Amino acid sequence: MKKILSIVLIASVLLGACKKEAAEEETDVVLIGAGIMSATLGTMMKELDPKLKINIYERLDAVAAESSDAWNNAGTGHSALAELNYTPEMPDGSIDIHKAIAINEQFEVSKQFWAYLVQQKKLPAAHTFINNVPHMSFVWGDENTVYLKKRYQALQKNVLFKGMEYSENYDSLARWMPLVMKGRSRTQKVAATHMDIGTDVNFGNLTRGMISALKNAEGVKVALNHEVKTMKRNADSTWMVTVVDRATKKERNIKAKFVFIGAGGGALRLLQKSGIPEGKGFGGFPVSGEWMVCHNDAVIAQHIAKVYGKAGVGSPPMSVPHLDTRVINGKKALLFGPYAGFSSKFLKQGSYLDLTRSITLKNIGPMMSAGLDNIPLTKYLVGQVMQSDEERLKALQEYYPEAKAADWKLETAGQRVQIIKKDKEHGGILQFGTEVVTASDGSLSALLGASPGASTSVDIMLSLLKKCFPGRVASAEWQQKFKQMIPSYGKKLADNVNLANQVREADSKALGLKYFVIQP
């Protein structure tokens, strides 16, 4: 009898294990995270192949509730028109504008795709997610003024930055940014650049618009409050994805041909769980952010610009100070910051154990090396965390001299995870920006990193598709569709004045934005 019971017990366990591993549903694509990246990739793939079955899983109960949300996202319309960290001064005194050109080109690609979706009625009215807000760079002091003028002169040599204005005149600057100049001494050495065609993008609304259209498409499922727990690659290069309903605690196994991990700060842990060799050695360093948010409508009404300054020594690029006009749900808002901080969470609504859980034998070496090489950054973050309300107000008053504490309130912004990766020379390096990590067979891809990710999301997803689906990308059918969605596909606007004029005019009309004709 005991032997029979043992056999029955073993059989039950084995049957249970087999049942757990069996797929309860099969799909073509699983997208993890309902943020701007998954929304962009899902929308693009559905346009390229309307027959695709796509499952989107989001651990929260709302779309775009983490980094893509307007109040959490520090990069609205990053196009390198004003961000000084994209144009570093070289040892010989010259200004390197290569990164600025690349980012501006990528943002133009994003605008083309959004314009296409608006025209196809697959996004709501453009003003709900993109609006014109001038982009400005502002500096003070002799050294910084010399730098900004050299930057302006270097950028003017490129087609994409034609139309930018430069001035050191107090009255001109006062017209561009009244709050910044009001109460400022006329004897102070100041300079600014001004680009009237800059934009503010509400990536939360943009994401919700794309996800809404996907939900209404045949073969697409969007499951909120569902968390991906594990992923296992099958022998045929498909993936068994285990998803749990956070409300009922019920698990389901989904078999997918392709998996994209676009879970923001949560992407690193999921990449590690996938077990792909390409993901080994990556680590993450979380950096939180805070905003000073204006609550005085009279003050908000006096400013309409994104005014970027220079980052402090040792500070991360995401901490470049800016006095920032936003358009959130149809209403103007005014923010200053971001003030950097530290939290061990990888997501705003994550766990304080996220950092600890991400440390493995494969990445602990690179993480320690990167830490030793970035002591100034550590000191900067400690200083930011220890700042008093008076010190934060003083930082704001450098950009808005007459700022009053009563008009502003400190609010928590989003959580970012900067990439740490292996490096032959240093052991490990802290990398700013975004990086796509892809399995060798193209069956899984993950996006790590932060700014300027959202603004360049379309270009990032184009690169991902080339890596994961090279054959289909090269096909005549997909090539034709790419050119329909993105008219400049395969070409560079920076090298073609006529094409740049043509594309900007078409996009601007579709999106309700300003534009001007670039003179050769």
148 within a domain of the structure (yes/no)? yes
pLDDT given at position 513: 96
| Amino acid letter, 379 | K
Domain with 126 in it? 28-508
pLDDT at 8: 44
The pLDDT assigned to 344 comes to 72
Q: Taking 80 as the threshold, does the pLDDT of residue 144 lie above it?
A: yes
Q: Determine the pLDDT at residue 372.
A: 58
- Whole-number Å distance between alpha carbons of 168 and 79: 23
Q: How far apart are CA 163 and CA 41, in angstroms?
A: 33
* Paired strand residues for 317: none
Phi, psi of 428, deg, nearest 5: -160, 145
Question: By the 8 A CB rule, do 87 and 102 touch?
Answer: no
Q: Is the peptide bond before 452 cis (omega within 30 degrees of 0)?
A: yes
**Above 90 in pLDDT, residue 425?**
no
Do the beta carbons of residue 129 and residue 201 sit within 8 Å? yes
**489 part of a folded domain:** yes
Confidence at residue 14, expressed as pLDDT on a 0 to 100 scale: 45
Question: If pLDDT is split at 50, 70 and 90, which confidence band does 434 have?
Answer: confident
Give the number of other Cβ atoms within 10 Å of residue 311's Cβ. Answer: 17
Residue 456 lies in a domain: yes
Residue 435: pLDDT band by 50, 70, 90 thresholds? confident
Total count of domains within the chain: 1
177-183 long-range contacts (CB < 8 A, ≥24 apart) are 177/136, 177/138, 177/303, 177/305, 177/307, 177/323, 178/302, 178/303, 179/299, 179/302, 179/303, 179/323, 179/400, 179/402, 180/138, 180/303, 180/307, 180/323, 180/399, 180/400, 182/401, 182/402, 183/401, 183/402
Q: Which of 122-136, 271-285, 334-348, 431-445 has the lowest mean pLDDT?
A: 334-348
Q: Contact, 343 vs 398, CB < 8 A?
A: no
Task: State mean pLDDT over 126-136.
Answer: 95
Query: What would the two tokens of residue 277 be?
Result: 């060799």
Question: Residue 457: what pLDDT?
Answer: 92
Does position 9 have pLDDT exceeding 60, yes or no?
no
Give Cα separations from 314 to 40, 160, 346, 417, 434 (angstroms). 33, 30, 22, 17, 20
User: Nearest 10 degrees: CA dihedral of 68, 277, 275, 447?
Assistant: 10
Per the structure block, which two tokens stand in for 493? 């606007």
CA 406 to chain centre: 32
Choice between 166 and 372, residue whose per-residue pLDDT is larger: 166
**Residue pLDDT, tens place only, 157-211:** 999 999 999 999 999 999 999 999 999 999 999 999 999 999 999 999 999 999 9
pLDDT digits 0-9 by tens, 473-520: 999 999 999 999 999 999 999 989 999 999 999 999 999 999 988 887
Task: Please name the amino acid found at residue 386.
Answer: M
The torsion of the CA quartet 170, 173, 178, 183, rounded to 10 degrees, works out to: -30
Q: Measured in whole angstroms, how far is the alpha carbon of residue 19 from the centre of its chain?
A: 39
pLDDT per position as a tens digit, 52-75: 999 999 999 999 888 778 877 755
Residue 17 pLDDT exceeds 50: no
For the chain, how big is the Rg over CA atoms in Å? 24
Q: Which pTM does this prediction carry? A: 0.88
Residue 444 is assigned to a structural domain of this protein: yes
Handedness of CA 457, 463, 465, 467 (dihedral sign): negative
DSSP H helices, 22-95, are 36-48
Which pLDDT score, from 0 to 100, does residue 353 have? 65
Closest to 445 (Cα-Cα) out of 470, 420, 427 = 470
**For 463-470, what is the mean pLDDT?**
96
Task: Judge whether 4 lies within some domain.
Answer: no
429: exposed, middle or buried (Cβ count in 10 Å: 0-12, 13-18, 19+): middle
pLDDT at 21: 64
Owner of token pair 């292996």: 422
Q: Is the peptide bond before 520 cis (omega within 30 degrees of 0)?
A: no
What is the Cα–Cα distance from 431 to 439, expressed in whole angstroms?
20
Residue 12 falls inside a structural domain: no
* Strands 135-140 and 306-308, sheet pairing: parallel
11 confidence band (pLDDT: 50, 70, 90) = very low
What is the per-residue pLDDT for 12?
47
Look at residue 259 and tell me if it is in a domain: yes
How many percent of the chain have pLDDT more than 90? 65
Q: Is the pLDDT of residue 452 over 80?
A: no
pLDDT per residue over 19-33, tens digit each? 446 888 999 999 999
The contacts of residue 101 (CB under 8 Å, 6+ apart) are 80, 158, 160, 494
**Among 103-112, 381-390, 412-421, 462-471, which stretch is predicted with the lowest mean pLDDT?**
381-390
Nearest to 42 by CA among 211, 241, 265, 225: 211
The rounded distance, in Å, linking the Cα atoms of 210 and 218 is 14
- Position 13 scores a pLDDT of 43
Average pLDDT over residues 379-387: 61
Please give the C-alpha separations between residue 499 and each of 224, 458, 515, 518, in angstroms, as whole numbers: 41, 19, 14, 10
CATH number of the domain that 60 lies in? 3.50.50.60
Query: Which pLDDT does position 403 carry in this prediction?
Result: 96
- Where helices occur in 295-448 by DSSP H, the ranges are 297-300, 354-358, 364-373, 375-385, 389-397
Q: Which residue has the higher pLDDT, 425 or 322?
A: 322
| Average pLDDT taken over every residue of the chain | 87
Which one of 189-203, 280-294, 384-398 scores highest in mean pLDDT? 189-203
Amino acid at 448: L
Inside any domain, residue 19: no
Please report the pLDDT score of residue 46 as a whole number.
98
